[in-house]
Amino acid sequence: MPVILSLTENHDEIWALGPEGLFLYKDGQLLATPQPDHHPSCCFHDGERLLVGGATHGVAYTTDDGGWRASWVDNVTAPVVCLAPHPNYEHTGVILAGSSGGGVLRSANRGRDFFVCNFGLFDFDVLTLAWAPPQPDGDWPPLEVVFAGAGSGLYRSPNAGRGWKQIVSLPAPVLSIAASPAFHCGGPVLAGTEGAGLWRSDDGGYTFRPVPDAPEVVNALLALPDGWLLSDVERIWRSEDGDRWTPLASPPALTFLRTRQGRVLAGGMEGVFEIE
């Protein structure tokens, strides 16, 4: 069974991607699909095109004739390891890419061209990116908040990834970040690390504190309307408040996807599976 690092949805289609390639997930099966990257790491379907991040192309996307085209990437040859579309992507066309050594890349034309946006970054090994939910209409000042997890700490951008500020320096890489659906009403932000546990912010991501008794390694996080999911190296955990966690009888995950149908899918060392 292939290892799955990334999941994305296009209407009734689920796409899964990992080191062994790209797959269409259908009826519980993974159907191999050609893609151009030698070392694929992440994927995103925007409703019209499928984007794949990795190496050697950085980011590539499907074309109308069924082929693939490499995105133009601004003087960066580092592998792309994560893709994060703007929460209003359909209107903005903005998508961020995190790279292993080149920092953050930003596209405002749906992934055709990416430009380096590393102002304020001290660590260019960006492992994960996560947007906060859209700001309610009429709120001031206008904010488009996004978080970046790097090899040595956590960064926050108030302006859709154009500039960054380090929020906390950590002794382990940040592997996962998730913001509550109630972020703009005081909902928390959680950040998981590879060895330094789980960290939590209750002030919009300006400060973080460690969460006691949480797993030391947090590979994946998902914010739900009624709680949270977390995966360490042994199992998946559920929490209602982000502080107290209960283990589930599920194998560990490397990524989560909440589909339009409300299902939660997980990808890991054992392929793709649904969480009850």
What digits encode the pLDDT tens for the residues 210-267?
Answer: 999 999 999 999 999 999 999 999 999 999 999 999 999 999 999 999 998 889 999 9
Written out in words, the top-level CATH class of the domain with range 6-116+190-274 is mainly beta
Residues in the chain: 276
- Beta-strand pair 59-62/68-70: antiparallel
97 pLDDT tier (thresholds 50, 70, 90): very high
pLDDT at 4 over 80: yes
Phi, psi of 265 (to 5 degrees): -105, 150
Q: Is the dihedral of CA 259, 256, 129, 136 positive or negative?
A: positive
The whole-model pTM stands at 0.96
Whether the bond between 181 and the residue before it is cis, its omega within 30 degrees of 0, is: no
User: What are the residues facing 272 on neighbouring strands?
Assistant: 267
Cross-strand bridge partners of residue 166: 155
pLDDT band at 64 (very low <50, low <70, confident <90, very high): confident
Say yes or no to pLDDT of 61 above 80.
Answer: yes
What percentage of the chain exceeds 90 in pLDDT? 89
Region 70-78: what's the mean pLDDT? 92
Q: By three-state DSSP, how is residue 84 classified?
A: strand
CATH 2.130.10.10 positions along the chain are 6-116+190-274
What does the alpha-carbon distance between residue 83 and residue 59 come to, in Å, rounded to a whole number?
9
For residue 138, is pLDDT > 80?
A: no
Pick from 220, 232, 225: which is nearest to 266 by CA? 220
